[in-house]
Structures are given as C-alpha cells and as structure tokens.
Amino acid sequence: MAVIVQKFGGTSVGSTERIKNVARRVARWQAQGHEIIVVPSAMAGETNRLLALAREISSSPDPRELDVIAATGEQVTIGLLAVALHELGLKAKSFTGPQVRVLTDSTFTKARILKIDQERMRKALADGNVVVVAGFQGADEHGNITTLGRGGSDTSAVALAAALKADECQIYTDVDGVYTTDPRVVPEARMLESITFEEMLEMASLGSKVLQIRSVEFAGKYKVKLRVLSSFADEGEGTLITVEEKRNMEQAIISGIAFNRDEAKLTMLGVPDRPGIAYQILGPIGEANIDVDMIIQNIGRDGTTDFSFTVNRNDYRKALGILDQIRQSIGAREIAGDNTICKVSAVGVGMRSHPGVASRMFGALAKENINIQMISTSEIKISVVIEERYLELAVRVLHKAFGLEKPPKATLGLTGRGETDIISPA
C-alpha cells in the first residue's frame, strides 16, 4: 500500500463532468489499496473570473484581499470533488489549506510554504477517507489567507507529498508528459520518459508550463518522486521526474528547448564601476518583490560599466520606475529597457560531459541571422535573449540542431559518457 498525492489542474476539473472523471480515476487508485490525497486546482477560468471582479473595482487591489477572493476557487473544487467521490461510494473529506495548516509566510499572492501539519490528514486517511486538499492556498501565522501564486497547486501537492512522505506525487495535467519543447511550436517535439529534477527546474523556470518551478525545487529538495501525466488519457506512464543516476536509457546531450515570452530587459548604462553596485541596483528591485532572472555586467570602461538584467514582463514598468528613482544616487548615466524580447534555452545534463553545445547553439542561430542580445549559462543550460519575433524560428532551429525529434539511442555504451550504464530490471 502506497501513499499517493494526485494533483489535478484547472482543465482537468473544468466542469462537473470532468470532476466526476477525476473521481473515477481516484477511485481506481484507491481500489488498489493506496491511500490517496487529491489536490485539485480551481475550475478552469474561475481564478481569472474572480480576479477580474476585483479589477472591476480597483486597478490595484490589495493583495491580502485578492487572496481572500482567489482562494475560494479551489475551495469550491474540493467540495465538489468530495461530493463526486461520495457518489462513487467512497469515503472522502475536503480540507482548505488553512484547515490542514499549510503555514506560509505573509507574502500575499505569492506566499511560500513554511510548514504543513500532517495530523489532520493522517487521521482522515486512517478513517478510510480520500483526503481532498485545496491547492494554491494556506494561511500565515496570523491566520490570514494566503495564496502561492499562479500554478501554486503543484507546489501544494509536492509539499503535501513531502510532509506525508508520500511514495509518489502525480501531477495530472492537460499534456501527457514533458516534451522536448512546446509541440505547438515544433510539431516534431517528443515526449520524454524521464527528466532530471535539475533539467525540469530549468525547463519550468524557462516557461515550459507543465509544472510550477517551486514545485520542482520542493520535489528535488525533499526527494519526492514526481510524475507528470495526462488527466484525459487512461493510458501512458507520463514523464517521471527523477534524480540523474536513475536515468540511463535516454542520455541525450540536450533534453529540451525551453522558452519564455514574458521577459523584459532593463539596462543601467554608465554605472560607476565600484564594489556594491549590483546590490545597490538589485536591492530595491528585490524589496519590491520583483524576481530578477538573468543578470549581466559588462567589463568596465573609463571607470563605468553597463548593468543589465531581465524581469517578468508584468514587472517591467515597476522595475523601470525603481531604476529611475535610484539612477541619480547611483550616478548612472542612463536607463534603457526593452519589453519585446524573449529567452530561448537549451537544457540537458548531457552538456556537462559534452563541450561544444554552446557553439552548436550559437552557430544554428547565426545561420538564421538571429541576433543574440544576452547570454547566460549554467552547468546544464545555455540561455539566450533574442528579439521576441524570432522566438518560434529559434526554437525550431535549435530543436533540429540537437536532433531532438529522434528518440535517443538506448543502447549500452552509446550514452554520452561512453560508460557502460547499469539498467535496472523492469
């Protein structure tokens, strides 16, 4: 008997008919003797409807109140799903985030989970219930309702799985797994059987909208076995997100091409080149709760340097305003910005042992005359910032350049490292 957390996205619970389908799927798992915790999102469109109501009243509604409003979306779904489970003859009980004490910090609209009390869920499971917990929400130490930000239900599911030491956390979504890139951009994109946490993290943070980034961080940190599956297909094992060592069959150099359209670039030109400048610029940005992604500082000339970074496009105006305010005190010459850029990345643990990935990438882009504005690299990822209008072209070109449309060779000895990999018995 295993403890399994199953998360269902908004599309999967988008109507009462679909909620009944989810209940049937949960029932099949429970019939196999597993203890099930289900974490549904709000019904598709519901969160947007609720936030739109608030925006009809105010152009900048108070975040605390937004959370009070938005948290109701998931609360409706848990009740409906519990009712659907009862209808199949199962015992089931719903709980809101605050009810199972999903303790978060007080950063309304993007709170972070600090702790989860498992007592109430354990008791309900022991009583034979399917436990239905509202994703996306929690409460801070003062009992204020908080939400975890868009896609936060994934994080809720993984955090619950970690707290309950679940055997697997299954993320049901409207795709059947993780692909080498978005199939809407590249029709030849291929589903991956498995992907490492690190790769998934890079894919997620770069805009592959399958999983929320924090959920993958959480899963990696707490060693939660994570699986992405389709909530519509009855077949298919989906994509397993796992630690690198177990992933031998599919050792390609690059696992996927990720991209993110919602980017904006800001540059402070002619910044005095002295220690502490980065902190002086990014401190106020961080205090305003704006996430900074890529950061690049050019080599100084004549005692000054240029300092660039990218933020989510929604935060562009706000970030620009902050730079305006601090420009004089920093002694910078000028501020420049561009919110028609995008980021495209090649991701893969294979590049650790394969030099030449960067040059193959830059070559492919150069051949199409796509100008690279910024470059950022990590051990398993190379990202470039380019003009937004070249996004689809760049993704297609890179997908082909790394041969991602072909399944990787699964023969022993042919993996990137040239070592004989151990294959575990099926």
Nearer to a copy of itself, 66 or 158 (CB): 66
Side-chain half-sphere of 228: how many Cα atoms within 13 Å?
28
The token duo for 240 is 């397993």
The token duo for 274 is 């002295």
Smallest separation, CB 289 to a copy of itself (Å): 19
Nearer to a copy of itself, 57 or 299 (CB): 57
Smallest separation, CB 15 to a copy of itself (Å): 9
> Which residues are within 8 A (CB) of 187 and not within 5 positions of it... i.e. 6 or more apart?
none
Contact 278, 292 (CB under 8 A): no
The token duo for 85 is 């489970």
Residues within the interface to a copy of itself (CB under 8 A): 16, 19-20, 50, 53-54, 56-58, 61-62, 64-69, 71-72, 75-76, 78-80, 82-84, 86-87, 93-94, 96, 98-99, 143-145
Smallest separation, CB 8 to a copy of itself (Å): 15
Nearest to residue 381, comparing CAs of 259, 296, 250, 215?
259
Smallest separation, CB 38 to a copy of itself (Å): 13
Smallest separation, CB 129 to a copy of itself (Å): 12
Nearer to a copy of itself, 51 or 410 (CB): 51
Nearer to a copy of itself, 72 or 312 (CB): 72
Smallest separation, CB 238 to a copy of itself (Å): 27
> Which residues are within 8 A (CB) of 391 and not within 5 positions of it... i.e. 6 or more apart?
185, 259, 261, 342, 344
Nearer to a copy of itself, 145 or 349 (CB): 145
Nearer to a copy of itself, 57 or 426 (CB): 57
Contact 155, 212 (CB under 8 A): yes
Cα–Cα distance between 385 and 14 in angstroms, integer?
35
Cα–Cα distance between 246 and 312 in angstroms, integer?
34
Smallest separation, CB 30 to a copy of itself (Å): 17
Cα–Cα distance between 124 and 142 in angstroms, integer?
25
Smallest separation, CB 84 to a copy of itself (Å): 5
Nearest to residue 96, comparing CAs of 79, 84, 111?
79
Sign of the C-alpha dihedral, residues 394, 395, 399, 400? negative
Cβ-based burial of 373 (10 A; exposed 0-12, middle 13-18, buried ≥19): middle
Nearer to a copy of itself, 71 or 224 (CB): 71
Cα–Cα distance between 401 and 398 in angstroms, integer?
5
**Torsions phi, psi for 209 (to 5 deg):** -80, 20
Nearer to a copy of itself, 71 or 370 (CB): 71
Residue with tokens 């805009």: 207
Residue with tokens 């042992």: 353
Smallest separation, CB 93 to a copy of itself (Å): 8
Q: What is the DSSP letter of 182?
A: -
Nearer to a copy of itself, 62 or 237 (CB): 62
